């Protein structure tokens, strides 16, 4: 499990994550190869859902017309699989961003926590921690084996180039 940057109490109040405007948004997380199978073995995904690399979404309520992550409980704003949530969810608001042939650690500037703290030492230290972690041999192999989690995101802050090319 990746060390977290954002305090859980802050996240639970935000109502920004796990909601998407389109059903196939690039912002919607994708599974690593082994993650969907693990969730299916625990009967948390059906066979069809487990065959996709995308975390399944469902249409929100009449009031909230966004598409919601299948695992989000909208009344409590809690993830029902938090302890085994996908790798991309563990990283968020940090993202693995594709820019041409380069793979870049980036951060979503729409996150209110990031907006408040992006010029702090705490933020810089966490970004350095993530960059070092993602450049380790284990995570370099993970990224090479799972190119589906490397997306092209617009409107993000680029932090550091990672040492791989997909």
Domain final residue pick, 54, 84, 114: 84
How many domains is the chain built from? 2
Q: Quote the domain boundaries for residue 148.
A: 93-161
Q: pLDDT tens across 53-84, in order?
A: 999 999 887 677 889 999 999 889 999 999 89
The pLDDT score that the predictor gives to residue 26 is 86
Q: pLDDT tens across 83-122, in order?
A: 899 999 999 999 999 988 899 999 999 999 999 999 999 9
Query: Quick one: 100 and 34 in the same domain?
Result: no
Domain final residue pick, 63, 84, 105: 84
Query: Quick one: 144 and 103 in the same domain?
Result: yes
Q: How far apart are CA 108 and CA 67, in angstroms?
A: 19
The answer to whether residue 116 sits within a structural domain is: yes
Query: Quick one: 71 and 109 in the same domain?
Result: no
Q: Which tokens belong to 1? A: 């499990």
Q: Report how far apart the first and last C-alpha atoms of the chain are (Å, whole number).
A: 24
Query: Exposed (0-12), middle (13-18) or buried (19+): which is 105, by Cβ within 10 Å?
Result: buried
Q: Name the nearest CA neighbour of 90 among 4, 26, 15.
A: 4
The answer to whether residue 166 sits within a structural domain is: no
Domain final residue pick, 19, 49, 84: 84
Helices 137-145 + 121-134 axis angle, to 10: 70
Q: How far apart are CA 145 and CA 142, in angstroms?
A: 5
């Amino acid at each position: 499990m990746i060390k977290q940057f954002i305090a859980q109490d802050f996240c639970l109040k935000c109502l920004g994550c796990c909601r998407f405007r389109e059903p196939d948004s690039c912002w919607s997380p994708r599974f690593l190869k082994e993650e969907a199978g693990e969730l299916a073995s625990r009967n948390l995904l059906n066979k069809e859902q487990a065959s996709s690399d995308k975390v399944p979404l469902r249409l929100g309520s009449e009031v909230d017309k966004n598409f919601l992550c299948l695992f989000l409980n909208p009344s409590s704003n809690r993830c029902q699989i938090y302890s085994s949530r996908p790798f991309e969810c563990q990283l968020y608001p940090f993202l693995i961003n594709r820019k041409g042939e380069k793979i870049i650690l980036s951060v979503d500037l729409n996150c209110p926590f990031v907006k408040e703290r992006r010029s702090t030492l705490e933020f810089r230290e966490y970004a350095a921690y993530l960059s070092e972690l993602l450049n380790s041999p284990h995570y370099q192999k993970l990224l090479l084996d799972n190119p589906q989690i490397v997306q092209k995101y617009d409107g993000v802050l680029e932090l550091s180039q990672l040492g791989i090319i997909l």
